[in-house]
Structure 1
Amino acid sequence: MPSHQLFRFPKPQWLNSASARTAGIYIAGALFSIALFTLIDAATYSRSSLNGSDPEVHMNFVDWVPGICSAVGMLIINSIDKSRLSADTFSYSGDGVAWKARLVLFLGFAAMAGGLAGGVTVMVLKYVLPDYGFPTLWMGVANVVANSLVMLSSVVLWVSQNMEDDYTYNLAL
């Protein structure tokens, strides 16, 4: 009897509980909150009087673009229903829901990867190459940390939202 599992080891049963799903959603929210706090902390430091870099460096819109891309990617990824991805019943007369869902999921991951790559690029070009010290370098590091946490938050939320448990009922007419 062929198994439909991807890996040889079975998934632990505690992953199918409602409390694990709730904990995952709260953890994802906490990670996103920490990411947003990190970015706001760097922006606040950028405009404070403690920013003693010479010449003075501030965060501007270029520093926020990677975070915006990551947040949009997170919204795209977590708005897709996992059951739409496995609908392999593609017919030429049908609408190809699985193909469209996979394309949108890819675009969401591409937006998040672009946000992370943009954060690294901004950090290197704006803060590392001019050889700023660490209080000023924190603005670039915070951008990378924030984008990484948004990406991790999105993965945790995706897994948590798509857990199947005994308390989930699919009602269809």
Structure 2
Amino acid sequence: MDTSHERLFRLPFKLPTSVSAKKVCVYVAGALYGAGLWSFLDCVLYSKHANGSDLHISFIDWVPMLCSVLGMAIVSSIEKNRLLQDALSSGTFTGSQSTAWQARVVLFLGFSLLASGISGSLVVLIVKFLLKDYTSYPTLGMGINNVLANLAILLSCTMLWIGQNVEDEYNYSLTL
């Protein structure tokens, strides 16, 4: 039986399963998180040991990174089921609406910390490096590494949350 006329594409193409998509998202998120932390620690170590200018990384530069890491920890700890709890519940049998509301508030706070991390690193780049005319690359690179590190952690958190909350192919919700 020839099924070549029934196929849409000439080459056999399969959509990834949810298990493989979850694995890919988790691995990509881990790589982005590692790259973000490595980028930030690289600029911190460069500032401490090899920087020839009078501008160094201080606590002000650490605050956006701390906000991003804390925001990622908060967002990654929220489950999708808690967010949709009142939409899925048919009465008071499966849970309260306050649990879903609390999960949404905590998720908002986590994403707010992530957003403040990336915006804080942009402000530090502009105020500390660009407005004071530190435009030579090794010195300006410390500010750019800070922004790239926070952006990588934001993307890592987003990929991890999407990967953890992908529905399984055979996932059914049974309500008694």
TM-score normalised by the chain length of structure 1 = 0.82
1:150 to 139, 150, 153: 153
- Return structure 1 stretches of 4+ with deviation > 3 angstroms: 13-16, 89-95, 166-172
Q: Which residue of 1 aligns with 2:22?
A: 21
Residues in 1 aligned to 2:174 and 2:41: alpha-carbon distance in whole angstroms: 42
Gaps of 5+ in 2: 1-13
Q: Which residue of 1 aligns with 2:52?
A: 52
Q: Which residue of 2 aligns with 1:68?
A: 66
CA positional deviation for 1:52:
2.2
CA positional deviation for 1:14:
3.5
Which one-letter code corresponds to 2:73 in the other structure? L
Residues in 2 aligned to 1:167 and 1:60: alpha-carbon distance in whole angstroms: 51
CA positional deviation for 1:144:
0.5
The 8 Å contact of residues 75 and 161 in structure 2, kept in 1 or not, is answered as: yes
The 8 Å contact of residues 32 and 153 in structure 1, kept in 2 or not, is answered as: yes
The 8 Å contact of residues 15 and 21 in structure 1, kept in 2 or not, is answered as: no
CA positional deviation for 1:170:
8.0
Residues in 2 aligned to 1:94 and 1:167: alpha-carbon distance in whole angstroms: 26
1:108 to 107, 110, 115: 110
Greater shift in the superposed pair: 62-71 or 80-89: 80-89
Q: Describe how 1:84-99 pairs up with structure 2 within 5 A.
A: 84-88=82-86, 94=96, 96-99=98-101
Gaps of 5+ in 1: 1-12
* Percent identical residues: 45
Q: How many residues align?
A: 158
The Cα offsets for residues 69-110 of structure 1, whole Å up to 9 and x where unpaired, read as 001000100100101111125879945111111100000000
CA positional deviation for 1:48:
2.2
Residues in 2 aligned to 1:28 and 1:14: alpha-carbon distance in whole angstroms: 21
Secondary structure of the 2:133 match is coil
